Amino acid sequence: MAAAHAEAHHGPPIANQSSRVSASVLGMLLFIASEIMLFGSFFTAYFFVRVVNGIDWPPHPFELPVFVAGVNTAILVTSSFTMHWALQSIKRGNRAGLQAGLLLTFLMGLVFLLTQAREYSRVGFAPHDGAFGTIFYCLTGLHGAHVFVGLSILLFMTIRAFRGHFSPEHHHGVEIGGIYWHFVDVMWIVVYSTVYLI
């Protein structure tokens, strides 16, 4: 199709593919590298407050809802598996599996985000309550923003899946979106263990 197209419009010559990795996957990986560094800058701030300044974690009257967040972690991790399932399904041509997988992933992500919001309103301290509150809200908030972006991407993928896009040959959209979602999950595990556990 592209070639015929080029004939008709005198379009561009087809670029040479000079690497094994596809442009969009590479692009997503580099973007994730950049995102990791953004988290890195927040973790640097965490390091200065918690290690260099050595404040109590959490400081006296406050407590972290470790258990609820743990359940939330489980939900998010599970959603990575459903995401994987969705991708495998479309690779095998199973559209229903794709749709169900994406929908489940989206719903679990949503539950995660809503639980997080609920936690914010009950946790008993605010971002301006000392450096501890600052770091807690900014790290979990930065991650929450990424969940939000991931959810938007999932939403678009789901809409497209229900409107008949994607096929065993063309499922780049699912693959790339999936990589991002896995990144969001892995990042949460890091945030959860540094902020809640240790």
Partner 1 sequence: MTTLTHEHEAHPGRQGPAPPPRGWRRLLYPGLLRAAWMAPLFFGIGCGIVVLCRWWGGWQPIWFGEIIVLVGALIAGPIGFLAGIGAFDYWVRYAIGSPTKPEDHSGHGAYSWRDYFRVNTDHKVIGIQYLTTTIFFFLAGGLLAMLVRAELAKPGMQFFDNQTYNGLFSVHASLMIFLFVIPAFAGLANFVVPLMLGAPDMAFPRLNALSYWLLPIAGIMMLSSFLVPGGAFAAGWTGYAPLSIHQPLGTIFFNMGVQWAGASSIMTALNFLVTIITMRAPGMTFWRMPLLVWANFTTSLLVVIATPFIAGSQFFVMFDRVMHTHFFDVAGGGYPLGYQHIFWFYSHPAVYIMMLPGFGIASEVISAMSRKPIFGYRLMALSLMAILVLGFSVWAHHMFVSGMAPWLRVPMMITTLMIAVPTGIKVFSWLATIWEGKLNFATPMLWAVGFVSMFVIGGLSGIYLGAVPIDIHVSDTYFVVAHIHYVLFGGSLFTIFAGIYYWFPKMTGRQYNEKLGKLHFWLTFVGFNLTFFPMHLIGTQGMPRRVSDYAPQFANWNLFISIASFALGASTIVFLYNMVTSMRRGAPAEANPWRSLTLEWQVSSPPPIFNFDEIPQVVGNPYEYGVPGARHAVLNGDRAATETEVRSR
Q: Which residues bind partner 1 (CB under 8 A)?
A: 5, 9-19, 21-23, 26-27, 30-31, 33-35, 37-38, 40-42, 44-45, 48-49, 52-53, 55, 127-128, 130-134, 137-138, 156, 159-160, 162-163, 165
Nearest approach in angstroms of CB 80 to partner 1 is 22
CA–CA distance, 152 with 139 (Å, rounded to integer)? 20
Task: With beta carbons less than 8 A apart as the criterion, state whether 86 and 103 touch.
Answer: no
Place of tokens 């301006």: 128
Nearest approach in angstroms of CB 173 to partner 1 is 8
Q: Which is nearer to partner 1, 88 or 152 (CB)?
A: 152
Q: What is the dihedral of CA 167, 1, 180, 182, to 10 degrees?
A: 30
What's the number of CA atoms in the CB half-sphere (13 Å) around residue 90? 28
Six token digits for residue 131: 């450096």
Nearest approach in angstroms of CB 67 to partner 1 is 26
Q: Which is nearer to partner 1, 71 or 145 (CB)?
A: 145
Nearest approach in angstroms of CB 126 to partner 1 is 9
